[in-house]
C-alpha cells in the first residue's frame, strides 16, 4: 500500500471534483468533460448493443470468447453517468474475469424518476435470459448508485420469481437514499468526492413522488433473503461507508453469502483508479476471483423458468 499514492489521488479528486449541488445540465456537462479525459486501453473492444429494449455498450477483450456476461450498472446518483464512461473500469474487470460485459444505459432522473432505472435493469436482465443465456452465466456488477440498483434488481427478480444471476459485485454501494448513515457526517472531511449536501440535493430527482425508504429505492431496508453471493467493496474514506457496512450486515443476517472488503484510506469507487493506486488493482483482482468462482460454481446451462 502506498500512502503517497493515496494522498496524490485525494488531491486530484479534490481539484477536479463535481459539484452535485449544481443544476442537472451543468452537472452532466462537467461529468462528461471529466470522463472524456480517461483513456480506454487499446485491447478493449466496445460496441453499441440493445438488450431487452434498453441500450448499452458491450465491452470485450479481443480473443475472449466466453459465454459468461457481466451486466453492469454505472453510478451517478441516478442523475448523471452513462454507459461509455464506465468502459475503462469495466474493461479492467472483463480483462481479469475473462468474461464480456454489457454496461447499461438505463434512464436517468429527473426526466425518468424511480422506477425507470429498476424497470430498465430488469428488462435488460430478462433480455439476456431470452437470448438463451443461463442465469448462472450472468454476474451483476455496479458502482455507487449502480451498485444499489443491482441489489434493487435482485429484489425485484426474486419477488417476480425470475431466476437469479450467479452473484453481484458491488463497489461503494449507494443503498440508502434516506441518508441515515452515520458516516455521512463521520467521513465528511476525508471524502474528496461526495458530501451529504450534494447527495441530499439529488435525492428528490430520483425518488420523485415515492418514498426514499422503499427497498427498491434504498435496498438497505429490503429483505435480502435468498439473494446470490455478494461481494461488497468500499473505501474507508467514504461518506457512504455505512451504506456498505449496513448492507453487508443485513445480507449476513439473512444468510446471504456476503464478503465485505473495506480498504483503508481510499475514496469512493477507488477501483476506477487502477492506473494511479495499487489498492485499486488489488481490489479488482480480488473481485475477479470472486466473479470467476461464482460463475464456475453456478450451473452453466440451468433451465430458465
Cα–Cα dist 136/69, whole Å: 10
Question: Dihedral sign, CA of 286, 292, 297, 303?
Answer: positive
Cβ 250 vs Cβ 56: under 8 Å: no
Q: Which three cell numbers stand for residue 276?
A: 494511479
Q: Residue 39: exposed, middle, or buried by beta-carbon count in 10 A (0-12, 13-18, 19+)?
A: exposed
Task: Please say if 144 is a catalytic residue.
Answer: yes
* CA–CA gap between residue 188 and residue 112 (Å, rounded): 29
284 closest CA partner among 266, 299, 298, 257: 266
Quickly count: other Cβ atoms within 10 Å of residue 36's Cβ: 9
C-alpha cell at 221: 431496508
To the query of whether residue 143 is one of the catalytic residues in this protein, the response is no
Phi, psi angle pair for 231, to nearest 5°:
-115, 120
Dist CA 60 CA 104 (whole Å): 14
> Which of helix, strand or coil describes residue 1?
coil
Closest CA to 153 of 173, 172, 134: 173
Annotated catalytic residue within 238, 242, 279, 288: 238
Write down the catalytic residue from 58, 143, 144, 218.
144
Are 174 and 142 spatial neighbours (Cβ–Cβ below 8 Å)? no
Query: How does strand 54-61 pair with strand 100-104?
Result: antiparallel
Active site residues: 144, 238
Amino acid at each position: 500500500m502506498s500512502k503517497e499514492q493515496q494522498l496524490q489521488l485525494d488531491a486530484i479528486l479534490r481539484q477536479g471534483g463535481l459539484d452535485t449541488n449544481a443544476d442537472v445540465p451543468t452537472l452532466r456537462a462537467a461529468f462528461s468533460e471529466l470522463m472524456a479525459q480517461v483513456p480506454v486501453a487499446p485491447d478493449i473492444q466496445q460496441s453499441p448493443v440493445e438488450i431487452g429494449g434498453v441500450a448499452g455498450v458491450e465491452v470485450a477483450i479481443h480473443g475472449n470468447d466466453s459465454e459468461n456476461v457481466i451486466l453492469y450498472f454505472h453510478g451517478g446518483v441516478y442523475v448523471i453517468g452513462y454507459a461509455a464512461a464506465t468502459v475503462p473500469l469495466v474493461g479492467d474487470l472483463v480483462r481479469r474475469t475473462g468474461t464480456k460485459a454489457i454496461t447499461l444505459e438505463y434512464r436517468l432522473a429527473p426526466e425518468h424518476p424511480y422506477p425507470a432505472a429498476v424497470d430498465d435493469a430488469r428488462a435488460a436482465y430478462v433480455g439476456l435470459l431470452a437470448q438463451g443465456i443461463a442465469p448462472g452465466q450472468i454476474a451483476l456488477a455496479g458502482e455507487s448508485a449502480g451498485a444499489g440498483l443491482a441489489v434493487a434488481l435482485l429484489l425485484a427478480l426474486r419477488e417476480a420469481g425470475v431466476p437469479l444471476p450467479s452473484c453481484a459485485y458491488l463497489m461503494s454501494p449507494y443503498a440508502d437514499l434516506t441518508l441515515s448513515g452515520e458516516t455521512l457526517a463521520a467521513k465528511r472531511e476525508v471524502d474528496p468526492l461526495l458530501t451529504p449536501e450534494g447527495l441530499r440535493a439529488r435525492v428528490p430527482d430520483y425518488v420523485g413522488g415515492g418514498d426514499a425508504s422503499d427497498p427498491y429505492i434504498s435496498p438497505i431496508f429490503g429483505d435480502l433473503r435468498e439473494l446470490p453471493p455478494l461481494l461488497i467493496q468500499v473505501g474507508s474514506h467514504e461518506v457512504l461507508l455505512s451504506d456498505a457496512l449496513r448492507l453487508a450486515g443485513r445480507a449476513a443476517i439473512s444468510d446471504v453469502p456476503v464478503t465485505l472488503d473495506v480498504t483503508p484510506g481510499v475514496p469512493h469507487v477507488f477501483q476506477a483508479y487502477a492506473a494511479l493506486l495499487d489498492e485499486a488493482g488489488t481490489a479488482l483482482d480480488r473481485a475477479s476471483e470472486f466473479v470467476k468462482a461464482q460463475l464456475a460454481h453456478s450451473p452453466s446451462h440451468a433451465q430458465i423458468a
